[in-house]
Amino acid sequence: MKLAIIAAGEGSRLRQEGLNVPKPLVKINGETLIDKMVKRAENNGFQAIHIIVNDIYPELFDYVKAIKSKIPIYIKVKTTESSMHSFFELSEYLEDAPFLLTTIDPVFKENEFQQFMKFCTLHKEYDGVMAVTRFVDDEKPLWVETNKDGRILGFQSEKRNASFVSGGFYYFTPTVLPVLRQSIENGLLKMRNFQQELINKNYYLKAYEFSKIIDIDHVSDIQLASEFLK
């Protein structure tokens, strides 16, 4: 399995609050977010890491390039207009095996992640398994509606009948990639649009619940995540 990391955002909210480092280099309890990702890949049997970074932070490219990892790390440098477009840029490297797609900033308990990975590898019948949580710390969360069996029925900007919000990372099989490329061709702009297209085309997406997932969008989230992991 491969790990695909989207780290091409600008981290604008953190910069507005005075934190002038690329988000992947933000430290939680002394360890950068990108180092946490690499260690997680090493500890959970991933064969390769593919990461996209933007071209406005050359120091981030230099940092990632210098990481000494037990598994190969491949870096793509490109500034994209959305996380879906970053996913598209990585998709050519994800054709041959299942992969985990993640943004750079979700923080969660490692034992829960290990159970998530075990679940994904045991259930190859799903086209995708998406991490979800009932914990909401985002101003504009992506709400995930499911049926009683945990099958995802749709994605929405408002809560309505949903119990969960997206955790920002997803296990996928390569079967989803044609839908991604069609979504790009059709001019869709956001990851949630692509995800809804999968539902519209009757792909089987399963929700997997984490107790808490914290996204590092604000300076206050750093302290919250540090305390949570302790």
Q: Could you report the per-residue pLDDT of 55-89, keeping only the tens digit for each?
A: 999 999 999 999 999 999 999 999 999 999 999 99
Contact between residue 79 and residue 44 where contact means Cβ atoms under 8 Å apart: no
Q: Could you report the per-residue pLDDT of 21-44, keeping only the tens digit for each?
A: 999 999 999 999 999 999 999 999
Q: With DSSP H G I counted as helix, E B as strand and the rest as coil, what are the percentages for the chain, rounded to 5? A: 35, 25, 35
Residue 140, pLDDT above cutoff 90: no
Contact between residue 180 and residue 84 where contact means Cβ atoms under 8 Å apart: yes
The per-residue pLDDT of the chain, averaged, comes to: 95
Q: Could you report the per-residue pLDDT of 40-56, keeping only the tens digit for each?
A: 999 999 999 999 999 99
- Mean predicted confidence (pLDDT) in 138-142: 88
Residue 137, pLDDT above cutoff 90: no
CA-to-CA separations, 92 to 64, 67, 103, 133, 213, in angstroms, rounded: 21, 23, 18, 30, 29
Beta strands 31-32 and 128-133: pairing type?
unpaired
> 3-state class of 85 per DSSP?
helix
Residue 180 confidence (pLDDT) = 98
- Mean predicted confidence (pLDDT) in 149-172: 96
Contact between residue 184 and residue 84 where contact means Cβ atoms under 8 Å apart: yes
- Mean predicted confidence (pLDDT) in 121-140: 93
Q: How confident is the model at residue 176 (pLDDT cuts 50, 70, 90)?
A: very high
3 versus 189: which is more confidently predicted?
Answer: 3
Residues comprising the chain, all counted: 230
